[in-house]
Amino acid sequence: MRSVEGTGKTIDDAIRSGLVHLGLIQDEVDIEILEEPKSGFLGFGSKLARVRLTEKASVNVQSTVCDEKGEVSTIAEEPLEEKSVKEHLFTQEEAATKAKQFVYSILKNMGVSVMIEKMIKSDKIILSLHGQNLGFLIGKHGQTLDALQYLTNLTTNQGQTERHFIMLDIENYRSKREDTLRKLALRLAKKSALRKRKNCFRANERV
C-alpha cells in the first residue's frame, strides 16, 4: 500500500496535496491528521497542516451460492496474484500513452500547442510539457498544474486494477519549485536558530 504525507495551509489543502501525489480520490485513501495548522504571530511560529494519506487495501469479495440441497456455501474471490495473471496488465507504457492523449486533447481544445516528452521511472511516469507561454498552465504556486495532473491521473487509471502515478511538469517547474522550497526551509531554520540564540542573552546583551 502506498502512503504519502501532504502539507498545506489548511487540512483540506494538505489532503488535496497528498491526493495529487498519489493520483487517487479521497474515497480511496485513509487519512490521518498529523498536525493542525497554526497561524503564529507576525509570521513567526506558523505551522502548516500535515496529514498522512494511505491507499486503502483491496477487500476480497465473497459470494454465497446454494446447492441443490439448499445448503449455502461461500466462494471466495480468486487471489489477486492468480487473477492478475489472467487479466491484461495495464503497463506503464500504456498508461503514458493514454495520459499523453488526454493532455493533448485538453490543451488542443484550449488552443494550446505543446510538445510532450515522456520519462518512465520505476515509481512514476513523468510527462514534460514544452511550448511557448505555458506559464498560465502552472498557475499560482503550481495549483493549475496540480489540478491538471490530478485529472490526468483519474482519467488514465480509471477502471484499471494496476495504477500508475503520472507527474506533469512544465519547463522543469517541479525541480525549480522544490529547490526554492528547500532554500526557504533552510533560511527559516537559520532564522529560528538565531532567534533562539538571542533569547539566551539578557536584553542589554543583545545586538
Q: Which domains are assigned to the chain?
A: 1-56 (no CATH), 88-175 (3.30.300.20)
pLDDT, position 87: 60
Neighbours of 100 (CB within 10 A): 18
Taking the whole predicted model, whether its pTM rises above 0.95 is answered as: no
DSSP state of 158: T
Provide the 10 A C-beta neighbour count for residue 23.
22
Strands 72-76 and 115-120: unpaired
The cell for 107 is 490543451
Integer Cα distance of 10 and 130 in angstroms: 32
pLDDT for the residue 63: 40
Q: How confident is the prediction for the chain on average, in pLDDT?
A: 79
Residue of 164, 177, 19 lying closest to 5 (CA atoms): 19
Q: Which residues, 6+ apart, have CB-to-CB distance to 87 below 8 Å?
A: 161
Of residues 199 and 100, more confidently modeled: 100
Give burial (CB, 10 Å; 0-12/13-18/19+) of 131: middle
So what's the pLDDT on residue 115? 92
pLDDT tens per residue, range 18-67:
888 788 888 888 999 898 888 765 556 678 889 998 988 763 334 444 44
The single residue listed with the C-alpha cell 502506498 is 2
Q: Give which of 162, 64, 172, 82 is closest to 126, Cα–Cα.
A: 172
Residue 56 grid coordinates: 486503502
130 alpha carbon, distance to own chain's centre = 22
Cβ(150)–Cβ(144) below 8 Å: no
13: which residues sit within 8 A by CB, 6+ positions away? 49
pLDDT score, position 155: 93
Q: Is residue 167 within a helix (H) or strand (E), and if so which, with residue range?
A: strand 166-170
pLDDT digits (tens, 9 = 90+) for 104-145: 999 999 999 999 999 999 999 999 999 988 999 999 888 999
